[in-house]
Amino acid sequence: MSGTRERLVIIGGDATGMSAASQARRLRKPEELEIVAFERGDFASYSACGIPYWVGGDVEDRDDLIARTPREHRERGIDLRTRTEVRRLDVPGKRVLARDLASGEEYWTDYDKLVIATGARPIRPPLPGIDAPGVHGVQTLGDGQALIDALRRTEGRRAVVVGAGYIGVEMAEALIRRGYEVTAVNRGKEPMSTLDPDMGRLVHDAMTGMGIEMVNDAEVTKVLTGDDGRVRAVATDDAEYPADIVVLGLGVRPETTLAEEAGLPIGENGGLLTDLAMRVRGHEDIWAGGDCVEVLDLVSGRERHIALGTHANKHGQVIGSNVGGGYATFPGVVGTAVSKVCDLEIARTGLREKEARAAGLQYVAVTIESTSRAGYYPNAAPMTVKMLAERRTGKLLGVQIVGREGAGKRVDVAAVALTARMTVEQMTALDLGYAPPFSPVWDPVLVAARKAVTAVRAG
Amino acid sequence: MSGTRERLVIIGGDATGMSAASQARRLRKPEELEIVAFERGDFASYSACGIPYWVGGDVEDRDDLIARTPREHRERGIDLRTRTEVRRLDVPGKRVLARDLASGEEYWTDYDKLVIATGARPIRPPLPGIDAPGVHGVQTLGDGQALIDALRRTEGRRAVVVGAGYIGVEMAEALIRRGYEVTAVNRGKEPMSTLDPDMGRLVHDAMTGMGIEMVNDAEVTKVLTGDDGRVRAVATDDAEYPADIVVLGLGVRPETTLAEEAGLPIGENGGLLTDLAMRVRGHEDIWAGGDCVEVLDLVSGRERHIALGTHANKHGQVIGSNVGGGYATFPGVVGTAVSKVCDLEIARTGLREKEARAAGLQYVAVTIESTSRAGYYPNAAPMTVKMLAERRTGKLLGVQIVGREGAGKRVDVAAVALTARMTVEQMTALDLGYAPPFSPVWDPVLVAARKAVTAVRAG
């Protein structure tokens, strides 16, 4: 470092890291702030959430998933070093040890300010056969390419998806679209464990209706291989499911190895702990965000780990503002998520029943059926809305929606209401957009709120 | 009236009146509360908002628009008298004079509690020729049927829609779908005067692209008729527009003739004034709701007149609760409206620029372009979002959206944020549903909020 020029070092070149870099660059010129970003892979700023749609054929080209190329970042004055892994973090010395994966060369780089954006790693249980050819993860663009190549190459038409959360159901759809017979093997009582089981059952029934074989309550114990060493089946305690291809969709854990070794604070969900400005707690010069941190759940008042691109981007924006001399905070989340499998839309926000109980909350829960448009309008699609409200206070605690076209994004109304800490009674008066092609005269979310009001009064 | 049994009289049997009746009936048994509802027309509880879609052929059958038949209401213990017009309201005497339109018989009916739900009447300027055959309103099911019959009968294929607000654009679509050449003649600078002109221009361009001839800044001065007495053209000061059919979509005014004659309080927008429980101000035993009342605009702090089925239903629900011995209030609106013309979705909530100025507010306004889905996802549709925020405080003041599929209902997020009196900075942290088929990683509403934050800081 020369003169007053500071150096910002970023570990991890995806959504959080590169958003932070870009925002910091907007606020401070290269003469004031040098920005060095280390990325283990070949790509920066890509949409991991888009991989299932690439595999399924909805997105044609890998490059469509890349928001900005490494070259574009470099042209904007960010020293992005791809295929470079950070091996050690020396907090007292304010430096990181990087390794050029091509040459094997290792070197220390000093920092004035550090951003940790190491993301998450997919859960991959140490089962017999799990590393056999034909078993695929879907975390990186490389994973996606390997899977697509394998689908083109593989003879046979049977796929097993392990896990039935967001990635699992999206991959089930992708494989169905590729013409595979798909079995989804799932540890939970129902698919989509981010929903209550009664709502998960609706997803189960719809997926079964799409021709996906659903196996719930089943723990995969091993991956069986054939004489050629390739996968041939997935086994649970009870049964075997033949497979030409296996896709793992078991979720992710925060990637915090470096941070842990450096003694940074890790929460009970395995993620780094930050303050509201996304600074690592107790460390003035270190920020962290994205899939490697825990976030405050504004409804339960507790930290959670949620790996989601939209949070990662917001974190990067906040970090970049603060590192660049501005001011921004990330107040927390309410736990909104939306997904689809074929034409079934699945959404949630706030707490489901189990989470409400774990938070010490007493609640009422109601479920209603409604439609996406006025009942008499063409293509009015059915949807089920479940709503939880706190006993006595009537505060909204959570909403789950399962339905067809037009169902999923309705959860946003509840997400804003949760953020504003509204009661279900307040919600019944919400002035939501109404016209027959868009909604029944009582929006489904309002129908649920009205029923919840009655339940709160009774309870 | 005998013993403690009370009588509730309702004037007007549509959304507000019959919702109030149904809710009151739920809370109080026929032995406690007699309910008499007078309705001038043949139908009760029908969806006037659905008429354009019936005319356009999206809704096949008139009866699809009827939520509950008169018979069904009667079976639920509501004495609904159709084709019966209330001619006078005697407030000191607590009675109404009704006229059976079939027999011409008139009779007084006493009330303990009264609900005024007289709705709105379409604006129909006293122009030469306006009553000629071939000129149609679209307020009642009878109007809709008359128009459909005329469309079937009429030779010729040219239609003029007068007005380019919600009804005007919906009718333009309906007539296009019927195979007509459509001209929309509109007094405003742009269509959709509920939007700012820059957003209205987008609607103009899209409608022109659909083959609708748009004539702005033009006041209809007369309706020209042929030798057969039927309409043949619509004239402005500058031009004549040939027409085989003319549809009037000039909006509505509160129907308060009875109430005015009875000395009830009328606001500056021509609607009845109520308290938060929807009781007519200064009158313990009279409630009013729906298209005949003014509502509090929570953003401007002023009363407005908004004719919209969703408010009418809420009013009815609130009135029925209070009349039935329960308790509910209608806190006000934020001015949300959504519509479509062909595949263009149009939405607004809160204040547009002119309204903000009229309310004495200083504001910043920003406009952004985004898409309904991740840019790389199939059918990602463009949308334009305009956002107004108060200068200094950064409080959200309003949002306007024009776009394709998936654009319109996004306005609900802003409607809830307005209700919660959020700032645009608070909005940037909203935890909205994200997945590539549903939204870019930054939801368009959040992109607008981010730009508004920058504008507030600069301004």
Residues A359-406: tens digit of each pLDDT:
999 999 999 999 999 999 999 999 999 999 999 999 999 999 999 999
Residue B59: its chain A contacts at CB < 8 A?
A: 376-378
Question: What's the token pair of residue B388?
Answer: 């107004």
Secondary structure class of A342 (helix, strand, coil): coil
Question: What's the token pair of residue A395?
Answer: 């505060």
Can you give the pLDDT at residue A3? 59
Residue A1 pLDDT grade (very low, low, confident, very high; cuts 50, 70, 90): very low
Would the pLDDT of B349 be above 90? yes
Residue type (1 letter), A27:
L
Count Cβ atoms within 10 A of the Cβ of residue B282 and give its class: 0-12 exposed, 13-18 middle, 19 or more buried: exposed
Residue in chain B nearest A420 by alpha carbon: B420
Backbone angles phi, psi at B378, to 5 degrees: -55, 145
Which residue from A408, A428, A450 is facing B433, i.e. has the nearest CB? A408
Would the pLDDT of B156 be above 90? no
Which residue from A376, A415, A432 is facing B415, i.e. has the nearest CB? A432
Q: What are the residue numbers of the active site of B?
A: 49
Q: How far is A428 from chain B (nearest CA, A)?
A: 8
Q: CB distance B413–A411 less than 8 Å?
A: no
Can you give the pLDDT at residue B155? 74
Q: Count other C-beta atoms under 10 Å from residue A250's C-beta.
A: 20
Question: What is the rounded end-to-end Cα distance, in angstroms, of chain B?
Answer: 65
Can you give the pLDDT at residue B115? 98
Question: What's the token pair of residue B134?
Answer: 């071939």
Can you give the pLDDT at residue A155? 74
Question: In whole angstroms, what is the distance from residue B394 CA to residue B384 CA?
Answer: 21
Residue B340: its chain A contacts at CB < 8 A?
A: 435, 437-438
- A276 vs A154, which has greater pLDDT? A276
Residue B1 pLDDT grade (very low, low, confident, very high; cuts 50, 70, 90): very low
Long-range contacts of A360-365 (CB under 8 A, 24+ apart): A361/A300, A361/A390, A361/A397, A362/A390, A362/A391, A362/A392, A363/A388, A363/A389, A363/A390, A363/A391, A363/A397, A364/A388, A364/A389, A364/A391, A364/A452, A364/A455, A364/A456, A364/A458, A364/A459, A365/A196, A365/A455
Q: CB distance A338–B374 less than 8 Å?
A: no
Residue B336: its chain A contacts at CB < 8 A?
A: 431-434
Can you give the pLDDT at residue B3? 59
Mean pLDDT of all residues in B402-415: 97
- Within chain B, all domains assigned CATH 3.50.50.60 are found at 6-121+253-323, 124-250
Which residue from A335, A415, A431 is facing B415, i.e. has the nearest CB? A431
Q: How many helices (H) and strands (E) does chain A have?
A: 12, 25
Interface A-B, measured as beta-carbon pairs within 8 A, has a size of 202
Which residue from A313, A337, A438 is facing B408, i.e. has the nearest CB? A438
Residue in chain B nearest A412 by alpha carbon: B432
Which residue from A47, A376, A416 is facing B420, i.e. has the nearest CB? A416
Q: How far is B288 from chain A (nearest CA, A)?
A: 17
Question: In whole angstroms, what is the distance from residue A101 CA to residue A55 CA?
Answer: 27
Question: In whole angstroms, what is the distance from residue A253 CA to residue A123 CA?
Answer: 6
Q: What does CATH list as the number for B124-250?
A: 3.50.50.60
Distance of CA B257 to the CA centre of its chain: 20
Q: Which residues on adjacent β-strands are paired with residue B215? A: B185
Distance of CA A30 to the CA centre of its chain: 33
Residue in chain B nearest A296 by alpha carbon: B431
A41 HSE (CA, 13 A, CB side): 17
- Nearest in space to A293 (alpha carbons), one of A318, A263, A261, A315: A315
Q: What is the mean pLDDT of chain A?
A: 96
Which residue from A53, A314, A438 is facing B409, i.e. has the nearest CB? A438
Q: How far is B316 from chain A (nearest CA, A)?
A: 12
Contacts of B266 (CB under 8 A, 6+ apart): B256, B259, B260, B272, B273
Secondary structure class of A254 (helix, strand, coil): strand
Q: CB distance B338–A433 less than 8 Å?
A: yes
Q: Are A319 and A332 in contact (CB under 8 A)?
A: no
Residue A441: its chain B contacts at CB < 8 A?
A: 15, 47, 49, 309-310, 313
The fold for domain B344-458 equals Enolase-like; domain 1 (3.30.390)
- Within chain A, all domains assigned CATH 3.50.50.60 are found at 6-46+64-121+253-323, 124-250
Residue in chain B nearest A419 by alpha carbon: B430
Q: CB distance A437–B340 less than 8 Å?
A: yes
Can you give the pLDDT at residue A320? 98
Would the pLDDT of A10 be above 60? yes
- Nearest in space to A374 (alpha carbons), one of B93, B323, B47, B253: B47
Residues B184-199: tens digit of each pLDDT:
999 999 999 999 999 9
Question: In whole angstroms, what is the distance from residue A19 CA to residue A17 CA?
Answer: 6
Residue A239 pLDDT grade (very low, low, confident, very high; cuts 50, 70, 90): very high
Pick the CATH number of B6-121+253-323 from 2.40.50.140, 1.10.275.30, 3.50.50.60, 3.20.20.120: 3.50.50.60
Q: How far is B239 from chain A (nearest CA, A)?
A: 34
Residues B251-267: tens digit of each pLDDT:
999 999 999 999 999 99
Q: CB distance B435–A340 less than 8 Å?
A: yes
Long-range contacts of A198-207 (CB under 8 A, 24+ apart): A198/A367, A198/A386, A199/A384, A199/A386, A199/A400, A199/A402, A202/A384, A202/A402, A203/A169, A203/A341, A203/A344, A203/A346, A203/A402, A206/A341, A206/A342, A206/A344, A206/A402, A207/A169, A207/A172, A207/A341, A207/A344
Residues B201-230: tens digit of each pLDDT:
999 999 999 999 999 999 999 999 999 999
A242 HSE (CA, 13 A, CB side): 5
Q: CB distance B376–A416 less than 8 Å?
A: no
Q: CB distance B441–A309 less than 8 Å?
A: yes
Instruction: Report the residue of B311, B431, B446, B453 to disrupt the A interface, i.e. the one with the largest count of A CBs within 10 Å.
Output: B431
Q: CB distance A441–B331 less than 8 Å?
A: no
Q: CB distance B58–A434 less than 8 Å?
A: no
Which residue from B59, B432, B442 is facing A412, i.e. has the nearest CB? B432
* Three-state helix/strand/coil letters over chain B: CCCCCEEEEEECCCHHHHHHHHHHHHHCCCCCEEEEEECCCCCCCECHHHHHHHHHCCCCCHHHHECCCHHHHHHCCCEEECCEEEEEEECCCCEEEEEECCCCCEEEEECCEEEECCCEEECCCCCCCCCCCCEECCCCHHHHHHHHHHHHHCCCCEEEEECCCHHHHHHHHHHHHCCCEEEEECCCCCCCCCCCHHHHHHHHHHHHHCCCEEECCCCEEEEEECCCCCEEEEEECCCEEECCEEEECCCEEECCHHHHHCCCCECCCCCECECCCCEECCCCCEEECHHHECEEECCCCCEECCCCHHHHHHHHHHHHHHHCCCCCCCCCECCCEEEEECCEEEEEEECCHHHHHHCCCCEEEEEEEEECCCCCCCCCCEEEEEEEEECCCCEEEEEEEEECCCCHHHHHHHHHHHHCCCEHHHHHCCCCCCCCCCCCCCCHHHHHHHHHHHHHHHC
Residue in chain A nearest B336 by alpha carbon: A433
Can you give the pLDDT at residue B459? 84
B303 HSE (CA, 13 A, CB side): 16
Count Cβ atoms within 10 A of the Cβ of residue B393 and give its class: 0-12 exposed, 13-18 middle, 19 or more buried: middle
Residue in chain A nearest B379 by alpha carbon: A58
Q: Given A37, A49, A397, A415, which residue is catalytic? A: A49
The fold for domain A6-46+64-121+253-323 equals FAD/NAD(P)-binding domain (3.50.50)
Q: CB distance A413–B416 less than 8 Å?
A: yes
Question: What's the token pair of residue B204?
Answer: 């103009």
Q: How far is A63 from chain B (nearest CA, A)?
A: 9
Mean pLDDT of all residues in B351-366: 98
ipTM over 0.90 threshold: yes
Q: Which residues on adjacent β-strands are paired with residue A38? A: A11, A81
Contacts of A406 (CB under 8 A, 6+ apart): A345, A372, A373, A381, A383, A438, B409
Phi-psi region of A19 (alpha: psi -120 to 50; beta: other; left: phi over 0): alpha
Pick the CATH number of A346-458 from 3.30.390.30, 3.30.1380.20, 3.40.109.40, 3.40.50.720: 3.30.390.30
Which residue from B331, B339, B437 is facing A435, i.e. has the nearest CB? B339
Residues A402-435: tens digit of each pLDDT:
999 999 999 999 999 999 999 999 999 999 999 9
Distance of CA A317 to the CA centre of its chain: 18
Residue in chain B nearest A339 by alpha carbon: B435
Q: Are A138 and A31 in contact (CB under 8 A)?
A: no
Residues A308-356: tens digit of each pLDDT:
999 999 999 999 999 999 999 999 999 999 999 999 999 999 999 999 9
Question: What's the token pair of residue A77?
Answer: 């004055």
Q: CB distance B331–A422 less than 8 Å?
A: no
Residues B85-104: tens digit of each pLDDT:
999 999 999 999 999 999 99
Residue in chain B nearest A48 by alpha carbon: B436
Would the pLDDT of A2 be above 90? no
Q: CB distance A313–B442 less than 8 Å?
A: yes
Q: How far is B380 from chain A (nearest CA, A)?
A: 11
